[in-house]
C-alpha cells in the first residue's frame, strides 16, 4: 500500500509484532501453532528450520523493494515467544530501519527505544531523522571504489571509478540511505 501511495517518497513503515507469522510468504511457523514445534537454534545451525530459507528470501526481496521505494522498515517485537526476527532482519537492515526485541510493549526497552526514535529537536520541534538520501562517491582516475558498508543499499550505478573487487556493498558508486539520524555512520 505504501509503495503504491508514496513511491520514491521517504517513509517509515513500523511493524508492531506480538507473534510469529503463520500465513503468507514470510511464514515462520504453520497455522497449527499449538502442535507444530517452533524452530530452535539447533534448527538454524543444521539448516532444518522448515520455513527459514523461503522466509529469508521473501524478506530480502522485500528489503530491496523498500529501498527501491525509499521506504524504511522498523520492527518492534513484543513477545516472550519467537516472532520471526531472524528471517525479517534483512529487510530492516537493508532499509536502515530499527529492530527492537522486548518481552512486552510495556517494557522499558520498548518504551525507551520508541521514544528515542520519535524524539523531536527541542528548538525546531522536528524529528531527528531524515529519509531518502542518495550517497555518491566521485574520485579521480587513479582511485577505484571497492564498496561501502553501513545502513545503505546499492543503486547499482556503474562508473569508471568502480573497482572489480567488492568489499561490502560494491559494484557501484551510488547508494541509497532510506533512513538517517544523528547516529548514522558509514
pLDDT tens for each residue of 41-80: 788 788 888 888 899 999 999 988 898 888 999 999 988 6
80 Cβ contact partners less than 8 Å away, ≥ 6 residues apart? 103, 104
Mark the ranges of the chain whose per-residue pLDDT is less than 70.
33-34, 80, 182-186
The structure's pTM equals 0.80
Q: Mind spelling out the 3-state secondary structure of 141-186?
A: CCCCECCECCCCEECCCCCCCECCCCCCECCCCEEEEEEEECCCCC
Q: What is the reported pLDDT for 184? A: 60
Strand partners, 74: 14
Instruction: Give the integer Cα–Cα distance in Å for 97 and 10.
Output: 12
Q: What is the reported pLDDT for 120? A: 83
Residues 101, 17 contacting (CB under 8 angstroms): no
Q: What is the reported pLDDT for 186? A: 54
Q: What is the reported pLDDT for 117? A: 84
Average model confidence (pLDDT) across the chain: 85
Amino acid at each position: 500500500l505504501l509503495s503504491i501511495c508514496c513511491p520514491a517518497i521517504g517513509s517509515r513503515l513500523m511493524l508492531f509484532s506480538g507473534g510469529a507469522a503463520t500465513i503468507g510468504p514470510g511464514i515462520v511457523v504453520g497455522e497449527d501453532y499449538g502442535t507444530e514445534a517452533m524452530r530452535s537454534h539447533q534448527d538454524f545451525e543444521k539448516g532444518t528450520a522448515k520455513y527459514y530459507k523461503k522466509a529469508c528470501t521473501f524478506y530480502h526481496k522485500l528489503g530491496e523493494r523498500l529501498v527501491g521505494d525509499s521506504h524504511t522498515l522498523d520492527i518492534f517485537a513484543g513477545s516472550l515467544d519467537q516472532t520471526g526476527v531472524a528471517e525479517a532482519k534483512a529487510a530492516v537492515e537493508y532499509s536502515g530501519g530499527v529492530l527492537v526485541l522486548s518481552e512486552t510493549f510495556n517494557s522499558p526497552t520498548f518504551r525507551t527505544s520508541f521514544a528515542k526514535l520519535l524524539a523531536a529537536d527541542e528548538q525546531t520541534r522536528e524529528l531527528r531523522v531524515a529519509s531518502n538520501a542518495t550517497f555518491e562517491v566521485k574520485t579521480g582516475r587513479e582511485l577505484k571504489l571497492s564498496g561501502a558498508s553501513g545502513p545503505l543499499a546499492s543503486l547499482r550505478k556503474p562508473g569508471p571509478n568502480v573497482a572489480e573487487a567488492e568489499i561490502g556493498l560494491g559494484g557501484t558508486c551510488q547508494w541509497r540511505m532510506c533512513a538517517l539520524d544523528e547516529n548514522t555512520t558509514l
